[in-house]
Structure 1
Amino acid sequence: MARIKLDMPDNYLFSTELAVRINDINYGGHLGNDAVLSMVHEARLRFLKHYHYTEMDVEGSSIIMTDSAIVYKAEGFHGDRVQVDVTVADFNKYGCDLYYLLSNKDTAVEIAHAKTGIVFFDYEERKVQTVPEGFRNKVLREP
């Protein structure tokens, strides 16, 4: 089976720090795959908050995740401080991709590369919506 490869961006818009908690550790004694996806979710919430958005209100639209991919690079352990860098790329009519680079804050070792696809969504109508121009403009004008 072919391995997943993510072409990670060179620049990121936002950075946050998360601690590896004891409930993030699996039976192998390291950061579990499910915990990585939870960390990505937390980083996405903080990223949106940085721009004064929530998952339920981005310029009047909500977002919904369409896919996710994670490539594991190294182990993480209880108590590690993980830096999660986030950026936006690959815009289309209805959504975009968010990229996440997870690194050990103390050693700079990359723990994981991740991507989540999102589309903008109206939960009352149960339909996708076009990308709000205000969101696109905010994130594209950043360096």
Structure 2
Amino acid sequence: MARVEIELPERFAFRTVLPVRVTDLNFAAHVGHDRLLSLAHEARAQLFAAHGWSELDVAGVGIVIADVAAVYLAEARYGMTLVVEVAVTNLRTRACDLYYRLTRQDTGAEIARAKTGIVFLDYRTGKVAHLPQVFREAFAAAG
């Protein structure tokens, strides 16, 4: 079986620090796959908030996740503090990609990588919408 590979961009637009909570652990006492996506979700929500947006309102339209991929490189355990970086790339007409790098704050060791493809959606009509110009301007230099 071929392994998923995620090649990260050189620059990240946002960075936050998140603790590993006991509720993030699975039966093996490390961060579970579902919680990895929750950590990425929290970082994405903070990125949007830093620009005055929400996932439901970026200049009048929201987002939906179109695809997701994740790769584990090490375990994250309770009590660790993670740095989560987010890059916004591949800005297209109605979509873009977000890449996440999770590292240990204390050692800098990389824990995981993830990627989500997002599509912009007009929640009033339920139809795919154009990527807002304000979003494009915020991240165009990043890729």
TM-score bin (small chain): over 0.9
Amino acid at match of 1:16: T
Matched, 1:119 2:140: no
Listed as ranges, the matches of 1:1-143 within 5 Å are 1-141=1-141
TM-score, normalised with respect to structure 2: 0.96
Instruction: Answer with 133-142 or 110-119: which moved more.
Output: 133-142
1:1-36 per-position Cα deviation (integer Å, ceiling 9, x unaligned): 211111101111110010000111111121111110
**Unaligned runs of at least 5 residues, structure 1:** none
Distance 2:92 2:67 in 1: 15
Identity across matched positions, percent: 42
Q: Normalised by the size of structure 1, how large is the TM-score?
A: 0.96
Return the alpha-carbon distance in structure 2 between the equivalents of residues 75 and 7 of structure 1.
20
Paired residue total: 143
CA-based RMSD of the aligned residues comes to: 1.3
Between 26-35 and 113-122, report the one with greater CA deviation. 26-35
Q: Which runs of 5+ in 2 are unaligned?
A: none
Distance 1:121 1:68 in 2: 17
